[in-house]
């Protein structure tokens, strides 16, 4: 008489009694898969929430340029600050600053000391050192920029404020 143990239907359905190691592996696999999916979803939610809550602001550099001490600029000199896109000019009448951006299509102009003019390399506009247009397609003169002396005695140029021409800063 053999004593063969028969599995109940519940045991057969769950795999209990037949291959106990496989059942444990499958359950552990699905637990890990679920946790992994939850982790990925949580990370995505966190990233999206951070982006949503961050202020949607464009940080731009300050329009104010510190051009340094007035004594650094010889009389009758035209000094270009390429990074700031300005000219700092020390004329007989005093200091002033011009935008170096051409009023035609926005190219950066250049000072031509041999000719004593500011010239645009793109379409040939030419300006005097006071920004007055001499020739070319530029529709307007180069703008004068607000220039002042700081408490520390530095020349400060505010590129966001244009002023009427011929307003010199005297030191
Ligand atoms: S951009 Fe200066 S002349 Fe056209």
Q: What pLDDT digit, counting tens, does each position of 82-131 carry? A: 999 999 999 999 999 999 999 999 999 999 999 999 999 999 999 999 99
Give residue 1's pLDDT: 42
Q: Give yes or no for residue 123 CB within 6 A of ligand 1.
A: yes
Cβ atoms of 164 and 144 within 8 Å: the answer is yes
Closest CA to 125 of 113, 143, 107: 107
Task: Tell me which H or E stretch contains 91.
Answer: strand 86-91
Give residue 134's pLDDT: 98
Give residue 56's pLDDT: 80
Which residues in the chain land under pLDDT 70? 1-21, 23
pTM as predicted? 0.69
Q: How far is the CA of 29 from the centre of ligand 1 (A)?
A: 68
Give residue 21's pLDDT: 63
Continuous H helices in the chain: 9-14, 20-53
Cβ atoms of 129 and 117 within 8 Å: the answer is yes
Cβ atoms of 128 and 138 within 8 Å: the answer is no
Q: Which of 101, 105, 117, 134 to mutate to test the pocket of ligand 1 (most atoms within 8 A of CB)?
A: 105
Q: How far is the CA of 134 from the centre of ligand 1 (A)?
A: 13
Instruction: Determine the Cα–Cα distance for residues 56 and 125; give it in Å rounded to an integer.
Output: 39
Cβ atoms of 171 and 70 within 8 Å: the answer is yes
Instruction: Determine the Cα–Cα distance for residues 14 and 18; give it in Å rounded to an integer.
Output: 9
Radius of gyration from C-alpha coordinates of the chain:
37
Give residue 2's pLDDT: 45
Cβ atoms of 110 and 117 within 8 Å: the answer is no
Give residue 59's pLDDT: 81
Q: Give yes or no for residue 149 CB within 6 A of ligand 1.
A: no
């Amino acid at each position: 008489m053999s004593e063969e143990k028969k599995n109940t239907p519940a045991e057969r359905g769950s795999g209990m009694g037949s291959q106990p190691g496989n059942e444990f592996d499958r359950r552990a696999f699905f637990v890990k898969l679920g946790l992994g999916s939850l982790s990925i979803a949580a990370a995505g939610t966190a990233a999206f929430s951070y982006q949503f809550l961050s202020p949607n602001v464009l940080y731009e550099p300050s329009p104010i340029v510190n051009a340094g001490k007035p004594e650094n600029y010889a009389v009758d000199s035209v000094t270009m600050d390429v990074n700031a896109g300005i000219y700092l000019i020390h004329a007989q009448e005093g200091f002033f600053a011009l935008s170096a951006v051409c009023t035609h299509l926005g190219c950066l102009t250049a000072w031509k000391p041999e000719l004593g003019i500011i010239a645009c390399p793109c379409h040939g506009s030419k300006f005097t050192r006071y920004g007055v247009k001499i020739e070319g397609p530029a529709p307007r003169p180069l703008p004068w920029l607000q220039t002042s002396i700081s408490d520390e005695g530095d020349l400060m140029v505010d590129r966001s404020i244009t002023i009427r021409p011929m307003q010199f800063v005297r030191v």
